[in-house]
Amino acid sequence: MSSAEILRRLDQLRVNDLPTHGGRTLAYVYDSGIADADAIGKQALAMYASTNGLDPTAFPSLLAMEKDLVAFARPLFNAGDQVVGTVTSGGTESILLAVQGARDAQPGVADPVMIVPTTIHAAFNKAAHYFGVERISVDVDPVTKRADPAAMTAAMDQYSDRVVLVAASAPSYAHGVIDPIGAIAAETLRRGLRFHVDACIGGWVLPWAERLGRTIDPWDFRVPGISSISADLHKYAYTPKGVSLLLHATPELRKSQYFASADWPGYTMLNATTQSTKSGGPLAAAWAVVNLIGDDGYLNLVRTTLDGTAALVTGIEAQEHVDLVTRPDSSLVTLSTDESCDVFTISDEMLTRGWFVQPQMSYRQMPASLHLTVCAATAPAVPEFLVALAESIEAAVAAGPIVIDEELRAAAVAIDPTTLDDEAFDGLLALAGLGSDTGEVTVPERMAPVNALLDIAPPALREALLIAFLDRLSR
């Protein structure tokens, strides 16, 4: 193909993708609305795309940019002189490394566990799965959805010798609330336990929110007892995808994160992250965007974002049939519906009006909900969003709640996914509206009926079904 044709094809390929810019996609993407920031980020990404972070002595520019980003973050998180940082590929990788590092620093613990609130990001579940660290999920306060420090403390005591890590969120993804970091840290400090604060989504918002006079309980290195913090740049720092920061309170705490292998005939592999060859592109892009936007720029972006969030909250509170699940501490809003309509129908209806809002399935006592990540570019569009939301609620009420057959509900609870073979999965996917008996799968235009069915499936069945779906989708 010629370059011109390739560009044409690439444009065609993405016609069904969600828009990354314009503020109408309220999950997955972040738009600052600053055209220069996008332009410089892309330029830097391209300039450094072929560099390799595998060996920082071969590409000292990458090491310099990494140190610069950590230096920029240091005052934001009230980091002392001892704090060290690593640039990773994203929030999940930062969290994987925090868990792996905690486990490997304590090799004497035979059956390691981590104590986390139920609302902690699923990246911790992935880390548990990868590294054989059992996840002990502690129920959160049923009203505020914040971690319950007394219950977390009780779990620390119950599992005492086995605990290699405690973690909490600032804020949580699903509900946008900040866990009581100070109260938890006091207990981890007393017991000498590692404590990771997941500020992947809040790390580039909360420091400026506080400066703008918002009341934010301390959650960063000011709090004694925090051993590490993750903060993603590819979220609210508005950099291209592929960049997060993992900060450790001391070099000693980071040590176990490193991997070296001289036990083969090639170069000595020496890595600070899970990747070995690693493009310098995302790092350079982040360096460029952070330096272009700068401290004042982020202050303005956070002001815009929080004002937009407040307007959104007020608008949602004024609508019938929907409610905030809890009051947001930052820029993430979660809403649920009353029994007259279905959240998943609202999300379908919003999509037909050009807005993506993210369905969240019910979990334990928490109802199914819609997640809205507000970014700076969303703020000016909030009035339009609220009109679309009102129309979508009306349409969802007119459609009525999705009723699931009681027999189906009972069957879903009884199914043990580990006993199912491929054929059974094909049948279940067809039943869920995601495929046909022949094993071919499709993404339906309206997801509400599928989501409603998935919602009644216990998490293990839902996971197995969606893995079967993805497997078939990508064949």
Interface ranges with ligand PLP (CB under 6 A)? 90-92, 95, 121, 123, 169, 173, 198, 200-201, 232
Comparing CB distances to ligand PLP, the nearer of 105 and 332 is 332
CB nearest ligand PLP: which residue?
Answer: 91
Comparing CB distances to ligand PLP, the nearer of 226 and 432 is 226
Nearest distance, CB of residue 290 and ligand PLP, angstroms: 17
173 vs 165: CA distance, rounded Å: 20
Comparing CB distances to ligand PLP, the nearer of 38 and 198 is 198
Nearest distance, CB of residue 90 and ligand PLP, angstroms: 3
Comparing CB distances to ligand PLP, the nearer of 95 and 397 is 95
Question: Which residues partner with 372 through β-bridges?
Answer: 333
Nearest distance, CB of residue 274 and ligand PLP, angstroms: 12
Q: Distance of CA 410 to CAs 315, 415, 430, 454, Å?
A: 38, 9, 18, 13
Nearest distance, CB of residue 200 and ligand PLP, angstroms: 3
Comparing CB distances to ligand PLP, the nearer of 61 and 125 is 125
Comparing CB distances to ligand PLP, the nearer of 201 and 335 is 201
352 vs 301: CA distance, rounded Å: 28
Phi, psi at 333, each rounded to 5°: -125, 140
> Alpha helices, DSSP H only, in 325-456?
343-352, 382-399, 406-414, 422-431, 448-456
Do residues 284 and 43 lie in contact, with contact meaning Cβ atoms separated by under 8 Å?
no
209 vs 331: CA distance, rounded Å: 10
Nearest distance, CB of residue 380 and ligand PLP, angstroms: 23
137 vs 180: CA distance, rounded Å: 16
Do residues 137 and 118 lie in contact, with contact meaning Cβ atoms separated by under 8 Å?
yes
Which one, of 342, 29, 359, 327, lies nearest residue 175 by Cα? 327
Which one, of 213, 186, 210, lies nearest residue 199 by Cα? 210
181 vs 185: CA distance, rounded Å: 6
Those residues with Cβ within 8 angstroms of residue 418's Cβ, 6 or more apart along the chain or in another chain:
464
Tokens in use for 318?
């004024």
Nearest distance, CB of residue 325 and ligand PLP, angstroms: 16
Nearest distance, CB of residue 104 and ligand PLP, angstroms: 21
What letter represents residue 146's amino acid? R
Nearest distance, CB of residue 171 and ligand PLP, angstroms: 7
285 vs 18: CA distance, rounded Å: 22
